[in-house]
Each structure stands twice: as C-alpha cells, then as structure tokens.
Amino acid sequence: MVKRCWLFLTMFSFPLVTSDNQPNYPTSLPDFSLLLPKPGQGLELVSTEVGGKQHWYGRIFLNHTSVYEEKMAKMEVKTSLLDNMIGVGDMVLLEPLNEDSFINNLKKRFDHNEVYTYIGSVVISINPYRSLPIYTPEKVEEYRNRNFYELSPHIFALSDEAYRSLRDQDKDQCILITGESGAGKTEASKLVMSYVAAVCGKGAEVNQVKEQLLQSNPVLEAFGNAKTVRNDNSSRFGKYMDIEFDFKGDPLGGVISNYLLEKSRVVKQPRGERNFHIFYQILSGASEDFLCKLKLERDFSRYNYLGLDSAKVNGVDDAANFRTVRNAMQIVGFMDHETQSVFEVVAAVLKLGNIEFKPESRVNGLDESKIKDKNELKEICELTGIDQSVLERAFSFRTVEAKQEKVSTTLNVAQAYYARDALAKNLYSRLFSWLVTRINESIKAQTKVRKKVMGVLDIYGFEIFEDNSFEQFIINYCNEKLQQIFIELTLKEEQEEYIREGIEWTHIEYFNNAIICDLIENNQTGILAMLDEECLRPGTVTDDTFLEKLNQVCATHQHFESRMSKCSRFLNDTSLPHSCFRIQHYAGKVMYQVEGFVDKNNDLLYRDLSQAMWKASHSLIKALFPEGNPAKINLKRPPTAGSQFKASVATLMKNLQTKNPNYIRCIKPNDKKAAHIFNDALVCHQIRYLGLLENVRVRRAGYAFRQAYEPCLERYKMLCKQTWPHWRGPARDGVEVLFNELEIPEEEFSFGRSKIFIRNPRTLFKLEDLRKQRLEDLATLIEKIYRGWKCRTRFLLMKKSQIVIASWYRRYAQQKKYQKIKSSAIVVQSYIRGWKARKLLRELKHQKRCNEAATIIAAYWHGTQARRELRRLKEEARNKHAIAVIWAYWLGYKVRREYRKFFRANAGRKIYEFTLQRLMQKYFLEMKNKMPSLSPIDKNWPARPYLFLDSTHKELKRIFHLWRCKKYRDQFTDQQKLIYEEKLEASELFKDKKALYPASVGQPFQGAYLEISKNPKYKKLKDAVDEKIIIAEVVNKINRANGKATSRIFLLTKNNVLLADQKSGNIKSEVPLGDVTKVSMSSQNDGFFAVHLKEGSGAAGKGDFLLSSDHLIEMATKLYRTTLSQTKQKLNIEISDEFLVQFRQDKVCVKFIQGSQKNGNIPTCKRKNNRLLEVAVP
C-alpha cells in the first residue's frame, strides 16, 4: 500500500520550532542534497509499507507535478486503519448509517479490489470471483503478529488475532463463517486454515499434521460438494472442524463434525445442477482398468442419477481433481483397500439408479414390482458381495414386525422406486459419515496433554428460494440459532470490554430472535416437535394433516402465518398458498412448501434393505448398516431427521459458547459468478438476512470507536502545543490535554483504563481532518527550514571552495607558464637540429648522383659494344642459312629428276592403296563417334557408309555386341546370375507358349513372399520345416466337388512340396519332389496349374492338386529347376487348354474357355458334371 502524505516533524531528532513557535535551525542535518528544491519546485514525501513497516521517500517536483529525482529515507512510522482508507474500512465509522450508504461503501471498496470490510471485529468478505494478489506469503508475513486494526481489513488479520489469542492468552477460539451458496465460505475456511498452518511452528511431525489437516478438505469437497446454479463448488453439508494445538501453538490434530448432508441430491438434482463431484471425477479420471473393476463406463448418459445438462463445468477438470482426491486420501492415511472399498460403494450407488421396475399382477389381485433388467442388479451384487436373490426380494417385499409377528407385503412400482432411492441416499449418506469418522481417526491428536482448540465453522447460510422445503427449514433454523448466539456473544463482548475499561454499561435495544427459535424447537409446541409427533402418530399421516396441526397450535404466534390458520388476518392473503406456511425469520419472511416434510423427516429405510446390506461380504457396507444384524433387531423407531439435526445444533451451540467467537460474513456480489459485477439488489438481500445493519447498530449503540492511549496520542499529538513534538508524561494525561485543547464535548468521549472511547464517528473524522491540515502546515515549515539550512550550508561550502579553488588556480597558472617556456625551448632545439640534418642530406645526395652518373655512362658504352657484335653475328648466320637452302633445293631437284622415271609404272596401284587406306581411316573414326550404348538390349547400329565394307560392318556389329554382353555379365553378382538363369529357363519354357509369360518378364522372382522366418504368425510352420524354403506363397486350392477355392500356403523346399493351412499354419500335404511327374497349365492368361503325382505313391492318395496362383510362371520355373537339380530329370511342363487331373480314383477334365466374367478380370472355376471342370478366362 502506497500512501501520499506530508512528512511531520518526528522524522528528525531535534525540534524544528522553539517554544515560541520560531524556527530552530539545526547545526547539521543528514545529507539530503539530492532533495534540494530549485526555484519553482516543490518537496513531497511518499511513504510505502513493506513488511509492516513504513518507509519514507523524498521526491522533488518541478512546478509540483513532474519528478526529476527521488531518494529514499527509511524510517519506521506506526500505521493505522484510517490511513489511505478507500470508503470506510470499518462500518462502525460509517456516517450516515443506513442501507444505501452501507451498500455504496461496500461497492466502492469492491470496485477498488478491497473485498474485506470490518464491522468491529467481524469481517465482511465479498467473493471477487477471480484471483487477487493478496494471499501471497509476503501478505502472510505482513499480517503476522500485527494489531487487528493496524492494517487494512483482511481475513488474515482475523486469523492472526484468533491464533494469537489462542496461543498467548490460552483462550479457545472459534471462527464462524456464514453466507449463502457461492459467497465464498469454503474458500474463506481454506484461507483461515492455510494462514494458521503458515504461521504456526515447523518440524517433521508438525508439518505432517498440517498437511493432513489441509488435505482433508479435497476429500470432503469431492464427496460433499456439488455444482449448483449459484456455485460451481457448493458445500452441500455443514462442517465444523476443531483444530487442536499444544501449549506452544503447534497443531496436534483435529476433529471434524458434519451436519445435514443433502443426500436427496444423490437421486435427484434441480435443472442446471450436478450430483456430488465424486461421481463425475471417477468417470472422468479413473483408468480403464479401474473402471472395469468398478463395472462402470465412462459415458455419463449411462446413469440415471447423473444430470446431463450440466455434466461438464467450464474451468473444472474432473480428471485432475480425481487424482488430487486419491493423493489426498493417501496423505490423510487411507489404506489402499479402504480407498478401493469407498469407490466400490460409490459405484454401487451410481448403478442403483439404473435399476428399473415393471408392474406385475399376482393371483390374489395385488400389484407387485419386478426388476426389468437384472444385469445391473447382478453387477451391484458382485460389487457389494450380496446374494442377488436377497437384494431382489428386498426390492419387491417389505417385512413388518410387531411383537412376535412378521407380516410380509409386496411393494408396487412406486414403493419399489422409493425403496431404491432410499437405499441409495442412505448408502451415500452413511459412507460420507464413515469418511468423516475415518478422517478423524487419522487427524486426531495422539497425545493426551491439555490442548487448546480453534474451531472453524463452515455452514450453509440463510436460504430463501422460490420453493423452500424441509432442507431450507432446517438450514434456516440453524442460522436462527447462530444469529442468536452471535447477538448474545457480541453484546457480551461489548459489556465485558466496558466493564474491563471502567465505562458505564448502558442497555442496548435489539431484536431478540429467541421467540423464533422457540417457535421451531420448543419441545411441546415447536414445529419440529409437532412434525415428530405427526410422524409417530398411527393412522393416515400426510403433509396436510401436519399443516392442520400447525394451524391449531401456532395460529396465534406472531411469527407464524398460514392461509388455513384460524387467525383471520391471513384469510385474504392471496400470496400465501393453502399448502404452505410462512415464518418471519430475523432475516425476513420465508414461505415453506409443506409437501415432503413428513417423508423427509421420517427418512425411512425398509428393514429388509438394511438386513440385505448387512449380509454383504463387503466389509465396509456391512459396517455401514449395523441395524441389519438379526441378532440386534430393535423394534424401536429410529430418530427422525429433524430431531437428529436439532440435537446436533444444540451440541454445536454448546460448543461455540465455550469459545471466543470470530465472525466472517460472506457475500455474493452477483448470480453470474463473474468478476467486476456488483448487484445492489442481491447484496442488499444478503445484508438483510445476515443482519449486518443490526450488527453495526449493536456495535455503535455504545461507543463507535476505541483506541489505546499510546497510538491515539502518537497519531494526534501534533494538534496540541503541549503534546508536540514529545509528551513526557503518561499517555492518558497527554490524551486528556489534547482533547481539552481541541475543545471536544465531554459527552463525545470517555476515558477507560487503557483506551479512549469516542461515541460518534463524526468526532473521529473531525480529528482526522485537523490532523491532515496540521500535517500540511508542518510539511511547509519543514520545507522552509530545510531550504534555509541548505542555502547556508551551500554558502559555507562555496566560501571554503573559493579558497581551495584560488590556491589550485595559482598553482595551475605557474605550471602552465613553465610548460609554455619548456615547449618553446624544445621548438627552437628542433628547428636547429632540422637545419643541420637537411644540410647533411644535401651533401649525401650530391655524392650519390655523381656515382650514379659514372655507372650510367659505363652501361651505355657496354651496350653499344654489345649491339655491334650482335649485328655482326646475325649477318654471318643469314649467309650460312642461304647456302643451306640453295643446297637443299639442289638435292631435291636431283631426287625428283631420278624418281620421275619410276612414277608412271606404279602410280595407279599406289593411289588406290592410299585412297583405300584413307577411306578405312575415315570409316573407323566415324564409327568411334557413332558407337551405340553399352546396354545389351540396345539394337541401334550406325548405317554402313560403303558397300565394300558390308561384311566388315556386320562382323564389327557382332563383335561389339558380344563384347558389351560380356561387360554387362561381368557386373552380375551370384544371386543376380541365378535370377537371370531362372528368367532364361522361364523364357525357354513359356515364351510364345503361355499368354501370362510377357507380364512376368518385368517382375523379379522373389520366392519368399510370406517372410515366414520374420512373421511370428508362422512360427509354428517355421518350426515344422527344417529345410531351406525356396518359395513361400499363398495359393488357392480348387475343390473338385464344387470348384470353389480354399487358401493354402504353398512351400517349395529342396526335397518336398508342402501345402499348409493359412490360418493355423498346420501342414496339410507333403509331397517329395520325386513323386511329382508333371505340371499342366493352359496357354491363356490365367494362374491355374495342376501338379500331377506319381501313381501309387504315398502322396497320391487324394489325387493331383489343382491350384491357382498370381505367380504361376515363377512357381513353375522354380519347381522345374529344383526337380531337375534333385532328381537329374526334367519335369514335364504341359501347356494345353484341356488336360486331365486325377482326383482320388476319378479323372476329371479341366477345360479353359473364353468368356465375360461378373467379377471383372478374375478367372472362375465351375463344376459342370462329374468329369468336367470348366475355367472361364476373360
């Protein structure tokens, strides 16, 4: 929090004014040179609170607006709730006090993110519906060990006050958190517990206890909270937790009490609301295996107890929350089998909603119910360990015991559905109570030493809906009791403080709601007593008879209204229906629908169902229904829901009265669950039923403001000359002097033993205005004194500096003069040295030029001599060359003259040979440039240029082709050579014979199409075959009876041909290669072939094989080569469109014909008669 205010004189250690109010200039001050204002500037000081201490900063503003420099001056100053207050932080100080000003003050603070406001020691909390940075560890430290009114309102301040009172004053505390659904009660209780956990002691055991206490919240929220139209995480039960501490203030453990779980939500939810969180969390976050164990499916729509319109909630991750719940249960101390049992019970409750009944008439004319689908019942019984017939009978019959007699009656469909829902509600409610008990066992204190206790009560607020039923009646009764104890304890606290301070106590008029509590809880004429009496009355009991009884007994009560009442004042009230009654609560009038009061109060569970649950082998379910034990049958009627709740509330009130109360009143700003929206009408409604204005009036009935003397004197001492700047006597005397000086009327304040009491807030605000004005005057005085001191200090500094500067300047001037003379001498010396150097340079250059001239002349002379000698030598060479030329010509002439006589005889032959040689040379050079590629299939060859080279041209072509084929073969590996040998064999066998052959030329032979060694599917087949597999392919075996095909695996090894089942991998047939005599196939474009076996062989018992394959050419070629390699005999390959096949003892003709197919281009085989199979080939 940053506060802008004027600095007052206590910042310094000396008085700035004398007794006659004249400036008292100090001889020295801290060095605030950076804060010195210049002309036209102003001085302002800013304070910042960090860690509960106030630090001051000085700022200088140009024309009082722009900052050019800032420097921090730290010093501690006591703070107050009144500093920098947005609106009014404590409603007790609100002026004027009415409903509009109350709401406007809350709205103003809410708009500035101030969500907490005080009413004395009561904290009003407004739900911001967003995260605010006010709950950080730094904030925890800021409020730790601070006075309640010392800082701005915060829930941490109340938590710290309660914890310190428990630890230091040995007073048991309780924190009561109230408000309607969505107001933030659950979050407030979490903040209180987290603050206490943060400020209490440390240590391994202490941290474990704190962790268990904190982790109990996620478990209870999952099983006890649900999404409503007002709140996505609404607590549907009341919770009171006692946290136990040792004498040091360290937590030892805790005890949790729960009140009135809304178990009707299990079977039915209003539109737009959900069932309890745990159902959705299990279905969203549990693994598939876990759901399978619980016999659940992930689809929400499968379960009738789950509403589908709000199954998914924005911003809520049910899967992550489920993991959080399981982790929290582990931390709290649930064993794995306990957690499993809890989720099994939840699953059973969820599946109970899927049981449906149908009517069935008996012989005696009575209607009974039967279960439509028993699968759900069977799964429930498997989960719970109940005999299916026992549970089925419990849903169909009801046994009534009276003394020694048992009467069994059938249940109609409506009664069966009632029994089912009652079982689901009771099962879940008892499971929740068991969870609370189990958590208490884990978190309870292990030591028996005396313990201090802090209770945190998170309970439903006052509820006023359009349709209010038994649940709202019970909740509002609890709030009436809480309001009663709140008024009593508040007045008691006020009275005790007045007595403690010696202030005269005056009676305060207030509305006492004890008359309303008596109307509800009176043992004779109370509404709850009459409801119990009506439930226990024999005969026909309905909600209408209950209302009639209320009209008879409560007709004259001033807070009870009914149209059926004998009191005539309500007979014409059309706003009150006949089936309703109205109670005027402290928070306003509430109309209750009487329908369902009797049934909800009875809360009956048929004894047959209790006994069926007790017979379960599931240990948890059996423990939840102890009344089902036949050995412990109790014919006494169980207590009603109303009487149980009344006893619980009485115990709670008794517990609260033994503790010092602290109140948190939670308010919801809007119904949209949105941030930054403040609905005045909604807030006004909550203010009324929370009785906040009544609370302020009670608080202000005596004195509106009280404060200890020391901080009061410290805050206002500058308003009086006698107390400023320091008061030397007791603080009370100083306050008396101060108030007398200010002439405040005596009736406006009173002096207690340790505090000053101010009656009217206007008096306090007047003191604040005077203080503010006085601080401005003091700040002006500080600025004036500071400027004067700074000017004198600067003058003395300048005078001292002038002397120092003069001495330094004289020294500087002499140094400059010496440097100038020194530099002049150096310049003269440099000039002289330069002149001497230049003179010497000129002499050296002249001597050098003379030497160079002699060298040049000598060079020119030698050059002339050399050129003359060169010309002489060239002349001699030319003369010698001329002689050689003439001699050569002469010799040539003599040779030509001798040769001429031989040329004419041999000229023709010589010319022919020369021409032929030139043509051959040209031919070979052209062939070199026109050579074709090295591919053996390239048939290009250059044209023959001359006729006489025809034979040579063909021979060269043949030689070149042989050469490049050899080069191509040299590149082959052994595997490639084998493939080409197989391709060559296939060409010799099928070329121009089988129409399917051309399509197979471009396809490489792979052999192992199934990869039997790698595929685990064929592991059994691989183990059965020891030899190397040459080919493995799926073929179709043709059935001779109908021509249909069956898939088989065809295996060829070095010694055998095998056929195996494709699915199982079992070998069906095994034929040695020596028993294969012939392979037959057609000449057409089909894949059919027959494998003929040797007659009389062991494999020929069933006859030949007629097969079909997509790789016929490859299979036939490999079979041919393998047979030739093993038997040294060529296998006969017969290619014919008609051939005979031996099937057992009969021979069948296989005939191939051309025809159009329904299946496209796939050949089909049909049985025409006993001796003919016809294959249609497209």
186 is catalytic: yes
Tokens linked to 76: 């501690």
Q: 235 an active-site residue?
A: yes
Give the DSSP per-residue string, 410-474: E--HHHHHHHHHHHHHHHHHHHHHHHHHHHHHHHS-S--S--EEEEEEE-------SSB-HHHHH
Of residues 285, 307, 461, 752, which has the active-site annotation?
A: 461
Active-site choice (121, 125, 178, 186): 186
**Active-site residue, selected from the candidate residues 105, 181, 228, 479:** 181
Residue 1052 CA to residue 1060 CA, distance in Å, equals 11
Alpha helices for 930-990 (secondary structure H): 950-970, 974-990
Of 216, 217, 231, 324, which is the active-site residue?
231
| 8 A C-beta contact, residue 268 and residue 217 | no
Q: 3-class DSSP state for residue 1055?
A: coil
* Rounded CA separation 481/652 (Å): 10
3-state helix/strand/coil string of 226-245 = ECCCCCCCEECCEEEEEEEE
Among the listed residues 235, 490, 610, 660, the single catalytic one is: 235
Could you write out the DSSP letters of every residue in 336-397?
HHHHHHHHHHHHHHHHHTT--EEEEE-TTS-EEEEES-HHHHHHHHHHHT--HHHHHHHHHE
What span, in angstroms and rounded, lies between the C-alpha atoms of 926 and 920?
Answer: 10
Spatial distance between the Cα atoms of 241 and 862, rounded to a whole number of angstroms: 129
Please report, to the nearest 10 degrees, the dihedral formed by the alpha carbons of residues 711, 716, 718, 720 taken in order.
Answer: -120
How is residue 1043 written in tokens?
A: 């021509």
CB proximity list for 988: less than 8 A, separation 6 or greater: none
Return the H-helix or E-strand segment holding 672: none
Within 13 Å of residue 185, how many CA atoms lie on the same side as its CB? 28
Q: Which of 87, 120, 179, 182 is catalytic?
A: 182
d(CA 115, CA 108): 10
Active site residue 120: no
182 is catalytic: yes
Strand partners, 279: none
Answer for the pair 708, 754: CB distance below 8 angstroms, yes or no: yes
Residues 6+ apart with CB under 8 A from 933: 940
Element (H, E) at 1078: strand 1076-1081
Q: Is 231 a catalytic residue?
A: yes
Please list the residues that pair with 238 across neighbouring strands: 259
H-assigned helices in 182-302: 185-199, 204-224, 277-285, 288-293
Catalytic residue among 142, 221, 463, 982: 463
Spatial neighbors of 1069 by CB under 8 A, at least 6 apart, are 1058, 1059, 1099, 1102, 1105
Which candidate in 121, 228, 234, 1117 is catalytic? 234
Q: Contact at 8 Å (CB) between 51 and 66? A: no
Alpha helices in 525-679 (DSSP H): 527-536, 543-553, 597-602, 607-614, 619-624, 641-657
CA dihedral 818, 819, 825, 831 (to 10 degrees): -170
* Phi and psi at residue 11, to the nearest 5°: -65, -25
Helix, coil or strand: residue 36 = coil
CA dist., res. 282 & res. 1098, Å (int):
67
- 234 catalytic? Reply is yes
Which of 402, 420, 403 lies closest to 412 in space, CA to CA? 420
Q: Distance between CA atoms of 178 and 156, rounded to whole angstroms?
A: 17
Place of tokens 């001037």: 813
Tokens coding 574: 């059309």
Annotated catalytic residues are 181-182, 186, 231, 234-235, 461, 463
